[in-house]
Amino acid sequence: MDRRGFLSTLTGSLLAAPLAAEAQEARKVYRVGFLWETPTIFPGAVEAFHRGLRDLGWTEGQNLDVERG
């Protein structure tokens, strides 16, 4: 390869380097299963469960997925 070809390849790669797509950091989403359909003994249990998770910094849809069933 001659000098001009080398310099043009080098210049092209240096100019294209900032345009390369950077991958986003994968965030881990934890899944929690809530298997209590109708809490008759503790009527506010579901709300208390969600409130407790929020107090601990867990946000449903961002870092937590709650499966109800």
List, for residues 10-66, the tens digit of each pLDDT value: 777 766 666 555 666 677 888 988 777 666 677 787 788 889 989 999 888 888 888
**Domain with 56 in it:** 25-69
Q: Is 32 helix (H, G, I), strand (E, B) or coil?
A: strand
Which pLDDT score, from 0 to 100, does residue 56 have?
92
Dist CA 5 CA 7 (whole Å):
6
Residue 64 placed within a domain: yes
Residue 65 placed within a domain: yes
Dist CA 39 CA 56 (whole Å):
23
Number of compact structural domains in the chain: 1
Residue 38 placed within a domain: yes
Residue 10 placed within a domain: no
| DSSP-assigned letters across all residues of 48-69 | HHHHHHHHTT--BTTTEEEEE-
Residue 8 placed within a domain: no
Dist CA 53 CA 29 (whole Å):
14
